[in-house]
């Protein structure tokens, strides 16, 4: 494995053609940085509502 000059210094970076590393960082043109998360973390994905009529015996 060759040393990538974009490596953050850990020696474990695996960077794809788009500059994304397996650890979640991304090359910004000058350095590796963490990509901001999109969307709230505390909101779980919504589930389809149950149909109460289908529960009737």
pTM above 0.75, yes or no: no
Beta bridge partners of 33: 26
Supply the pLDDT for residue 12. 80
Domain ranges of the chain: 1-35
Q: Is the pLDDT of residue 7 over 60?
A: yes
Provide the pLDDT for residue 1: 46
Residue-wise pLDDT for 9-56, tens only, equals 777 888 888 888 888 888 888 888 887 766 555 555 566 666 666 555
The DSSP result for 1-57, as a single string, is -PPPTT--SSS---B-TTSBBTTSEEE-SSSEEEPPP-S-SS-PPP-PPP-GGGG--
């Amino acid at each position: 494995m060759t040393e990538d000059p974009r490596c953050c210094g850990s020696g474990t970076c695996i960077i794809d053609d788009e500059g994304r590393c397996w650890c979640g960082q991304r090359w910004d043109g000058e350095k590796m940085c963490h990509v901001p998360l999109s969307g709230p973390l505390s909101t779980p994905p919504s589930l389809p509502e149950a149909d109460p009529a289908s529960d009737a015996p």
